[in-house]
Structure 1
């Protein structure tokens, strides 16, 4: 849609947009700004009734504007039809789009959806003809013509070129290579037929999905999939540098695992797909209208029934015709060999199931992912992904409660704060010795029985290293069983399944198993095999504390107990409890902490790590708990929530999902969306929840203002609007650098370079590890993140190389060296520079070296830094890092929680490296990389050598000229 302004009148061009010019002219006249009045003040002043605003954490701009009950954000414009609703929403955004972060000219109407209450108008953002990824605003207009809410996220301050340096085909190849080389999870992915199925040039804002401030980047969005769609990833590639910006999976499963495997024919060999009909599927064994059950087995019957119940639930209750709203065929795949069982998933075209993973709530859960993809489109990472997962749990359990099939009994409403007696053990692991590391560790799920406490000494044995594994992964049988027998074994996550690790330990006589995760949060798991020894998971920090103590010769003792306490006999709000392959439920929506998941944002169980796409399966517990509380009522977090019943809660949550949330919405947006949706539904007709085939929708009791108070209370109890500050995500380089010299001093730059003239002042050098290998030179670039237009020094360390350990290998270090700089008199002498780091953590990284009076080059150690010292020691060569800088202190990694960096200033006290008045020094910036893999590299700018002087004595000091040789 294009908006043309002529004087005070507006002409709206675009599909479905029309308005009476005189109406809009009058509205524009009434909206004329008052001197000194801000845009937000105008927005509030023009509305009828009170306006509630909230900001988007990623941008600081308005993310949600809603009118109080019977209010109207734009009362001067009338709307009585879909066309009028679009015109009214457009008129509003023409005035106030800037408050949301983008000019109105960047917004394009993408559709108007009618529902019994009115219309939802959706706008996407475009910049210079390109879509802005994840950017969308939704405007809600009710049947009375009131504009009740505008919500969403748009990328602000778009000022970037839109001509890519990287060709589309090259971006696709890089994306495919990234997926091929960097598989995630513990399984082995099926990579046959892996290719880029779609590549689109977009504007991408880093950090938007996680809800943090980011940068606008020209990027390709590449969808990569294998032949069977068991692997389907979105990969974001910088269109200027070719660097990986982000990646997440589009295959949504109801378990915390990644699922891959190919179709096979009757002989057990790969299917040649010559007779495939749809998405890799052969002829259906049952279609609509065939006799039922007609020879189908129990799993197949359950899939047909469950898919039908899912369809009729959304149709009867909300009036939606299939997941796309247009009657799409709902295809399911039983006993799918692409899945690492037991599991189930939605892959974008079909829902897919293992044997004995076909219960009613699981089938509705997977179809829930489809409905989410076609409504809010919540991105499957961080809080948006946790909401995506939670909506599937919510709809799955709502169907389970509503039907008469597969219901586990008893199922009364549960008492506050109690776990179900049908819930597995809730492991509590306490380190009891040595005293200096004694603590209670947060754990994930458990395998095996935990009827009685298990305590004993921890053993950390090594085993044979298998391909791709480590000596501590527990995936091989133990040669020396005496090291393991009678003890609790500590192993690392990876290579093989959790069950295999537990079985190997059991065979050696272990009484328990601890699986240490790769991140600070533990990983969750469960299994039906009660013959296994009690097996729990802990996070990386706790794992390393135990390993360090054992490595120092200390005896580490732990106790593992079931921490559930009193239990309540009910299956209500358990997810997946009817799937025999799971051996029990996989999540608890009433009390998520019973499964190691958070029930509110500040719970210790809230996952802050990058595991599981930012904790999507675990952190979904916050939203699940909100829904369960709202339905049944109860007291949680010292907040009493009146129960409003299934009908009202389902309608409120659906309206929020379908009309108030966008791809990057977070928990705070959900809190606002639920409140706005409830307000809009007050006194309006809603339907009862029903899964009955071809049922006539039955009116439910209308929503009241009292119900909306309950919605607010539920959001308060689970802290939806509270940011997860406990995660303490921080940039690699701290902000707020102090003055170079400190209080009471003056500074004089005796040598410096801002790289405006390139690298003319610097000498390049290179070291390679393998004969025939090569490095990557430093260069001057004007397209650094956050510094576009200003030249900086840059050495790439992206996803290049093939780990060949020979010709073509990229294991190398490249450096730029300054000329000699003679240091002058003063209180102190300091080196200052600005830089940006985004490298493969531990393996790629850089440091600053100094040569004093022609002596040997030395790494400037962290203790010599006044601000922003090197953050790590690069992984050593003994740990198979082929970076020439391995073992040296350096800058490595990215900002917390994202695959990008940000600019910061580092300051070095040259006196702490032995450089004094009269010495001649040279400065060297050196970046090293291993032979393959990477993210971006190291950017350096504004390098200065400064002399600090006493202000009182230095005021009349003679001017001195730096000597540069």
Structure 2
């Protein structure tokens, strides 16, 4: 259930949509001394007493959020509503430039207090005229620490504020527009427009595109509320110079607004159509999958609303749209793509639907990056919320028995599939116990298992694809397969089909190699199948295939499930029939091949599956289940706190302490801080009832925090997974550029202190309406001082193959550089860089043009140090990056979502460059349509030559670089 996440950095701009009426305002103060945004950001980081995290507005490039686990302004105290307002105002006044506004444009509009602290809001005014949708929110905790400031302001405003038409004229235009184009009702018919009037008319600055998160110009407008105080309430923006409409939206919306789209298995969104929306009869003509999606979405909405007070995933009542039978998904699966939740048939149980909406709530709160431990936390939060809804909704009439009964410690469930493993017995060089997924058909392997040599089954290519190893057609090497265990690939046909074909060829068992590094069950039905079949990870499949290249490989298929108890409690997706059974077990994750603690052998160390986000989620999943129910695990005894306390602790941590890069240790720290913050504070019971009334729950007590500490110890959240032996992407033992006994002569250099003035930019956008990210300079690079060149690859696109899709590449090209002739020799290119990107999907590389010729990638042999670390996935594998299939720098340091800086050295002579040639150097960053981390930062680009220095010289002579 991998989500394709879209960060909508203007989400908070919508916060002002419900604050249209005039507010009583207090001026922030006089403007601070002017400074550049990047200089201001540097001061913001230096002043804070904790690590500072920044996100930028996609439309403006200005800061959208700054937050820290410490205090952004530690030298000022706040212990009351008034002092909290003063502290926030001082900070906003000081750092207004980073958010894109002059300090004198920001006015404090209110201070709200709640059980957890204070929220101070600021609105933007330009020459006395309010700027629509522009608001900053500063959050302080009860200890007076300023923990975050976020929101949107319109930058670089330059417009007149004297209207050419009056309010009454503008109001008349607005009413006429609504009368001529009536809003539609829930039935799709135009509603009555009798009694229309302009209730409020107000002059505002309206920044075009702000609500969509797009760049645009600012316009002086009248904002007119047109209503008949019945079924119509529209906000209309009228240009104050021309009287023409600029924008219009409705404010008449239900608290819960669901929409259901039917895809009918199509991959083309233009063929999708809406089959149900809020207010339509239910279930009407909806099928079982569609009904579950509608009801599951409602339960997710009311769970977050009544338990935590959050109105939809953006906190602002956003409509919740679902796509059923989505052909864009590799079924069986479901996902959240940043706009909608999307499902295959048979993957629509209540916990799965709540799981996918959980990804949306995570995106709009902590924004956990979908890679390594942050990604495992992202996935775990969705499992947690999905299972919490499943346990709280009381729907135990689907054969699940008593979901309230605690399962025995360390026990698997009799209702989850067998826990098969594939033991590679020989050769010794390939020996391994491989986790596997069971089939929903045929006999299950037992503790004794099936042992035999494994061979690849071959078949003919057909309409399902060109593969000859997926067993989708009749096996063509039956003499080899007979009496052996058949190894086949996943392919595109049903699992039961391929297993039956192998059985017909005489196989005694089947091992299916997945197309990703994930273990899952195999759905399907065929009562005539009489041999066992299991599915293994792609990496384990490749391990077997490699070993087969040197001789026979012997394997055993057996069950490794251990003790089992009759319980459905804590099983994930057990009612989504297409999965063939539960896909994860939160109570005992090892029962389905996932780790229950960090040191477990099941802890996933590979770079595939975004660093094991689906597997390693087992650790925080287990922590939640253990805190709810209590038990003994890993030598630690835990007294359960129940669902109400655990859910509130988890959500508080998500909304107050976690950042996009938080791993398990930071998650543990946040749990401890959350428990401390919530002691004796009011919390609500967990409930999912429609239009329910929030009910107070028993508050968290000081003693409960010891159980939080016990859970952290039991699941080893603060332990490093040393068994993985993670390595940095770049080697740190940088050698000299030229070597001992040589002298380096710098021919050309650029440290980007003067921007990109020496470079020429270029861009390729793959799909119509898509987006790219031109290179720019920044002083905000991680762990680095000064300006650098930045090739962006953040999570700002949507995988649509159209509008908003970020499948693109951007490059910068150096000027022509002359390589000196004799006696110079051995030209070199060096540069410092760091990268954090989706591994094997997004990445950057270097090309060179010699004497005006075509740009070609630097050959692998020319990299003397720290060359590209991997090859990007190909287009055939689904990578829409224009650089698909190329060698590139991609990913991060092992086990982390960041990368240490390193230096790369290129021997230009090995790239075909000789003395007297001219060259141009091109840095090229490519990315796919959605998802991402940070991107590629490059500094200190130097072209030099090397020549003998003097007899007996001991070391290379260094040269200075431009800063």
Report the TM-score when normalising by structure 1.
0.59
What are the ranges of 5 or more consecutive residues in structure 2 without an aligned counterpart? 1-20, 31-42, 57-65, 125-134, 158-208, 217-259, 759-773, 792-800, 802-808, 958-963
1:747 counterpart SS class: strand
The answer on 1:397 being equivalent to 2:384 is no
| Maintained 8 Å contact 1:317/1:697 | yes
Mapping for residues 12-51 of structure 1, pairs under 5 Å: none
- Equivalents in 1 of 2:123, 2:915: separation in Å? 55
Q: CA deviation at 1:64?
A: 0.8
CA distance in 2 between partners of 1:672 and 1:488 (Å): 48
Once the two structures are superposed, what CA deviation does each residue of 1:165-208 show, in whole Å capped at 9, x if it has no partner? xxxxxxxxxxxxxxxxxxxxxxxxxxxxxxx99974589xxxxx
Aligned equivalents of 1:136 and 1:719: distance in 2?
38
Q: Paired residue for 1:90?
A: 88
Residue by residue over 1:717-765, the C-alpha shift from the partner in whole angstroms, topping out at 9 and shown as x without a partner, is 334455667767767653452223557x563438667699999x9xxxx
Q: Which position in structure 1 is the counterpart of 2:445?
A: 450
* Alpha-carbon separation, structure 2, partners of 1:111 and 1:482: 80
How far apart are 1:493 and its partner, in Å? 4.5
What displacement does 1:332 show?
6.8
CA shift, 1:477, in A, is 3.3
C-alpha displacement of 1:868: 3.0
CA positional deviation for 1:666: 4.6
1:432 aligns with 2:421: no
> Using a 3 Å threshold, how does the CA distance of structure 1 residues 301 and 874 change in structure 2: closer, same or farther?
closer
Equivalent in 865, 868, 881 of residue 867 of structure 1: 865
Q: Distance in 2 between the 1:792 and 1:657 partners? A: 30
1:678 touches 1:708 (CA, 8 Å); kept in 2?
yes
Say which SS state the counterpart of residue 90 (structure 1) adopts.
helix
CA distance in 2 between counterparts of 1:108 and 1:603 reads: 54
Match of 1:619 among 616, 620, 632: 616
Secondary structure in 2 aligned to 1:705? Answer: coil
Look up the match of 2:890: 894
Deviation larger for 662-671 or 783-792: 783-792
1:675 maps onto 2:672 in alignment: yes
Structure 1 residue 701: Cα displacement: 2.6
**1:79-158 equivalence runs, <5 A:** 79-80=80-81, 87=85, 90-91=88-89, 93-94=91-92, 117-118=115-116, 121=119, 139-141=139-141, 146-147=142-143, 151=147
Q: CA RMSD in A?
A: 6.7
Distance change (3 Å), C-alpha of 1:161 and 1:410 = same
Distance 1:469 1:753, change over 3 A: farther
Q: 2:627 aligns to what?
A: 630
Contact 1:360–1:405 (8 Å) recurs in 2: no
Return closer, same or farther for 1:704/1:108 CA change in 2, 3 Å cut-off.
Answer: farther
> Where in structure 2 are the equivalents of 1:114-513 lying within 5 Å?
117-118=115-116, 121=119, 139-141=139-141, 146-147=142-143, 151=147, 200=213, 262-263=263-264, 284-286=281-283, 309-310=299-300, 312-320=302-310, 357=347, 359-369=349-359, 371-372=361-362, 375-376=365-366, 378=368, 383-406=373-396, 408-409=400-401, 412-443=405-436, 448=441, 449-451=444-446, 452-465=448-461, 469-496=466-493, 498=495, 500-513=497-510
* Residue 550 (structure 1) aligns with: 548
CA distance in 2 between counterparts of 1:41 and 1:933 reads 35
Who is 1:178 aligned against? Answer: none
Q: CA 1:375 to 1:496, structure 2 compared with 1: closer, same or farther past 3 Å?
A: same
**Closer, same or farther in 2 for the Cα pair 1:275/1:375, shift >3 Å?**
closer
CA–CA distance in 2 between the matches of 1:494 and 1:124? 55
Q: 2:737 pairs with 736, 740, 749, which one?
A: 740
Aligned length, in residue pairs = 750
- Asked whether the equivalents of residues 140 and 659 of structure 1 are also in contact (C-alpha less than 8 Å), the reply is no
Do 1:844 and 1:874's aligned partners in 2 also have CA atoms closer than 8 Å?
A: no
- The aligned residue for residue 10 of structure 1 is none
CA distance in structure 1 between the partners assigned to 2:144 and 2:595 by the alignment:
32
Identify the residue that residue 960 of structure 1 maps to in structure 2. none
Cα gap change, 1:790 to 1:686, in 2 (>3 Å): closer
What SS is found at the alignment partner of 2:70? strand
Is 1:65 the counterpart of 2:60 in the alignment? Answer: no
**2:560 matches 1:568:** no
**Cα separation, 2, equivalents of 1:625 and 1:556:** 36
Q: Tell me the distance in 2 between the aligned counterparts of 1:789 and 1:386.
A: 33
Give 3-state SS (helix, strand or coil) of 1:677's partner.
helix
Residue in 2 that maps onto 1:776: none
How many angstroms apart in 1 are the aligned matches of 2:564 and 2:407?
10
**Structure-2 separation of matches of 1:846 and 1:73:** 44
Tell me the alpha carbon deviations over residues 639-683 of structure 1, each in whole angstroms, 9 at most, x when there is no partner: 443322222112222222344445665544433332232222211
| 1:442 positional shift | 4.6
Q: Counterparts of 1:836-915 in structure 2 under 5 Å?
A: 867-868=865-866, 892-896=888-892, 904-907=902-905
Q: CA deviation at 1:702?
A: 2.1
Q: Matched residue of 1:678: which SS?
A: helix
Distance in 2 between the 1:330 and 1:875 partners? 33
Inter-partner Cα distance in structure 2 for 1:875 and 1:339: 18
Q: Secondary structure at the match of 1:429?
A: strand
Q: Is 1:749 matched up with 2:745?
A: yes
Distance 1:609 1:548, change over 3 A: closer
CA contact 1:599–1:718 (8 Å) conserved in 2: yes
**Inter-partner Cα distance in structure 1 for 2:821 and 2:27:** 75
Deviation at 1:549, TM superposition (A): 3.1
**Helix, strand or coil: the match of 1:65?**
coil
- What is the CA distance between 1:589 and its match in structure 2? 0.8
Q: For the residues of structure 2 that align with 1:872 and 1:41, how far apart are their CA atoms?
A: 36
Aligned mates of 2:346, 2:717 — CA distance in 1: 35
Quote the offset at 1:434 in angstroms.
Answer: 1.9
Q: Separation in 2 of the partners of 1:913 and 1:307?
A: 57
In 2 relative to 1, CA 651–460 (structure 1 residues): closer, same or farther, beyond 3 Å?
Answer: same
- For residues 92 and 471 of structure 2, the distance between their equivalents in structure 1, rounded to whole angstroms, comes to 61
Q: Which secondary structure does the structure 1 equivalent of 2:699 belong to?
A: coil
Shift of 1:555: 0.9
Shift of 1:588: 0.6
Alignment correspondent of 2:78: 77
Do the aligned residues in 1 keep the contact of 2:685 with 2:696 (CA within 8 Å)?
Answer: yes
Q: Retained in 2: the 8 A contact 1:599–1:622?
A: yes
Deviation at 1:495, TM superposition (A): 4.4
Please name the residue that 1:767 is paired with: none
After superposition, the C-alpha distances for 1:298-318 in whole angstroms (9 at most, x for unaligned) are 777766765665455445433
Contact 1:418 1:591 in 2 (8 A): yes
Matches within 5 A, 1:826-841: 831=828, 833-834=830-831
Judge conservation of contact 1:73–1:147 (CA < 8 Å) in 2: no
Give CA deviations for 1:489-548 in whole Å, capped at 9, x if unaligned.
3334554555554444344333333344556x4443442648665444444554334323
Aligned to 2:685: 688
2:139 and 2:789 mapped to 1: Cα distance? 42
What is the distance in 2 between the residues matched to 1:400 and 1:702?
Answer: 23
| TM-aligned CA distance change 1:823 to 1:264, over 3 Å | closer
| Aligned partners of 2:748 and 2:817 also within 8 Å | no
Shift of 1:406: 1.7
Deviations 1:570-616 (A, max 9, x none): 32211222444444222111122222233344544444566555544
Which residue pairs with 1:652 in the alignment? Answer: 649
The question of whether the paired residues in 1 share the 8 Å contact of 2:396 and 2:402 is answered with no
CA distance in 1 between counterparts of 2:845 and 2:410 reads 47
- Equivalent-residue separation in structure 2 for 1:581 and 1:886 (angstroms): 32
Q: How many Å apart are 1:556 and its aligned residue?
A: 1.4
| Unaligned runs of at least 5 residues, structure 1 | 1-13, 25-37, 45-52, 127-134, 163-195, 204-258, 288-294, 762-779, 794-801, 803-809, 852-857, 958-965
